[in-house]
Structure 1
Amino acid sequence: MTGTDATADLGAAMAKLLLQAGAIQVSRDRPFVLAAGWASPVYVDCRRLIGAPRQRAAVTALVLTDLTRRFGAELPFDAIAGGETAGIPWATVIADRLGMKLLYVRKRPLGIGRNAQVEGAEAAGARVLLIDDLATDMASKLAFARGLRMAGAIVTDAWVLFHNQAFPGGEERLAQAGLALHALAGWPDVLRLDAQERLLDPADRAVIERFLADPAAWSAEHGGRRAPAKPMA
């Protein structure tokens, strides 16, 4: 099996877990307004995978396999950091399974001082892998990375369960900040799996496809954000 095949298999497995858990929610009448301000007819709620033991174990196994495939059996990190709030449980499980130090990082500092945004293990000098559940416009990933770096950590990689690669500008902002994003699954995995197994309602799939054809225009037409944030200076 090639690396591309292995990636597709992991993505399909994650997509199936999301669909089976009801984590991919479609609203045909009233759009969701995401935290970044975009309007979307679909919302991916990865938190639905945390509570059920079987699903949590299945996702954990996929994460560990994906991390090993990407970074090797000996991960080039000293610690795992979970982004508040939904990234924290996954980071905790992964750090525990790998026997690694754990941090958690807030979107904004709480209080004052060098470590006001970061809790847990010592961050200074540590090579840290940032883990979160979902990536959309990358604003929270950039905030997490800034907080970890302010605490002295070395952060070059962020990893998420699902990349909502719909809206423009996110990858450019990450690249500018020297941060690489890795995702277990994304929309291509969901749509490819559905084409094989028909797990989505056909009307829901049609809504998702129309949205993904031009997400920024769809958002603007439905009262959401019209353009990506400007790159950071």
Structure 2
Amino acid sequence: MNSPLSGDAMARLLLEGGAVQLAGDQPFVLAAGWASPAYVDVRLLIGEPSLRRAVVALAADAIRTRLPQPPEALAGADTGGIPWAAWLAEELDLPLRYVRKRPLGIGRNAQVEGGSVEGRRVLLIDDLMTDGSSKAAFARGLRSAGASLTHTLCLFHHGTFPGGAERMRELELELVALASWRDVLALQHPALSADSRAVLEGFLADPVSWSAAHGGRVGLAPLAI
């Protein structure tokens, strides 16, 4: 899913930008409902020009080298994927769209904004993937609007909770990820102490049990397509 070179570089950028945050007594509950001792806040990289330029360069290289065919448009997932899709569209000189999880309910009531995707090969851009549950809504919106969607690019893939690979197969989506927790733990970095590393390794050994014991989800939700 991610290459060793991009994984190492992206993990370094996350740690240098303070995006890898360890919980104290109260665990984080991720958007998918899983409890975790750590949170990756990719939005912290948005505000620093040197960091965001480096991330965009890594993502652009992944798009150029790791897709079977170049995309004809980029679609940012609302909301975390939109800024990255915008910078990548500028870098790659591609049309930009964005997709909501559901239609707005007012105005045009559109799920896809920015123009037509009819008949275009579209790459979905998002900042994070936990277990892939949010990707179903984005894929549905793009395909309903006529897009050809086979791949999604995420800056960070948790790569821990069950169901992600199964969801991607059911959605007929291939994931291209720049980094995962494995890449973060592979680094020796001052931002990741020995104690923090031990907490993360314990969590990754059995993330479902860890989540259940700390007030999070206890199993995989059914796929809604």
Most deviating of 25-34 and 113-122? 113-122
CA offsets 1:64-112 (integer angstroms, 9 cap, x no match): 112222027xx52210000011100000010111111110001111127
Q: TM-score, normalised by structure 1?
A: 0.91
Q: TM-score, normalised by structure 2?
A: 0.94
Measured in 2, the distance between the counterparts of 1:60 and 1:113 equals: 33
Task: Write the letter of the residue equivalent to 2:118.
Answer: A
CA offsets 1:126-149 (integer angstroms, 9 cap, x no match): 110000000001111111111001
Unmatched runs of 5 consecutive residues or more in structure 1: none
Partner residue in 2 for 1:120: 114
Q: Which residue, 27, 46, 52 being the options, matches 1:50? A: 46
Q: Which residue, 202, 222, 225 being the options, matches 1:210? A: 202
Measured in 2, the distance between the counterparts of 1:8 and 1:115 equals: 42
Measured in 1, the distance between the counterparts of 2:171 and 2:98 equals: 20
Cα-Cα RMSD: 1.9
Q: Which residue, 18, 23, 44 being the options, matches 2:19? A: 23
Identical pairs, percent: 56
Unmatched runs of 5 consecutive residues or more in structure 2: none
CA offsets 1:161-189 (integer angstroms, 9 cap, x no match): 00011110121011011111110111111
Q: CA deviation at 1:117?
A: 0.4
Q: Which residue, 30, 52, 56 being the options, matches 1:34? A: 30
Partner residue in 2 for 1:133: 127
How do 1:1-150 and structure 2 match up within 5 A? 7-71=3-67, 75-111=69-105, 116-150=110-144
Task: Answer yes or no: is the 8 Å Cα contact 1:172–1:231 preserved in 2.
Answer: no
Most deviating of 109-118 and 159-168? 109-118
Task: Write the letter of the residue equivalent to 1:206.
Answer: A
Q: CA deviation at 1:211?
A: 0.5
